[in-house]
Amino acid sequence: MEISFVMTYCTVEKNKHLLLDIKKDWLKQTESERIYESTIQVINNINKHCDLPHEIILVDNSDTWIPIEIENLRVVKGLQTITRDRLRNHNFLTEHPDYEAIKNQWTELDNLTMHVSLGMYLGTTFAKGKYVVCQHNDFYYHENFFKKFIKDLEKYAYISVDNKKVWIGSYGGFKEVRDILGPDVKFSPFDGGYVKTDLGFADCYFFMCKREFYDDYKIDWKYGDTNHGATIKCIQEDKEYLHLRPYYDNPNFPTMDGIHTYYYDGKKFGTHLKGGISENRMSDREEVQKWLLNI
Taking only the tens of pLDDT, the chain with its 295 residues reads: 999 999 988 876 555 544 444 444 444 445 566 778 888 989 999 999 999 999 999 999 878 899 999 999 999 988 776 766 777 788 877 877 667 766 666 554 545 555 677 788 889 889 999 999 999 888 999 999 999 999 999 999 999 988 766 665 544 556 666 777 677 666 665 555 566 677 777 888 899 999 988 877 666 555 556 677 788 888 888 999 999 987 655 555 554 456 778 889 988 899 887 654 444 455 556 666 666 676 6
Name the 3-class secondary structure at 180: helix
According to CATH, what is the number of the domain 3-292?
Answer: 3.90.550
Of 265, 233, 271, nearest in space to 249 by CA: 271
What backbone torsions phi and psi does residue 199 show, to the nearest 5 degrees?
Answer: -80, 125
193: left (phi over 0), alpha (psi -120 to 50) or beta: left
What backbone torsions phi and psi does residue 91 show, to the nearest 5 degrees?
Answer: -60, -25
Q: pTM (2 decimals)?
A: 0.84
Name the 3-class secondary structure at 19: coil
Residues 83, 19 contacting (CB under 8 angstroms):
yes
Domain extents in the chain: 3-292
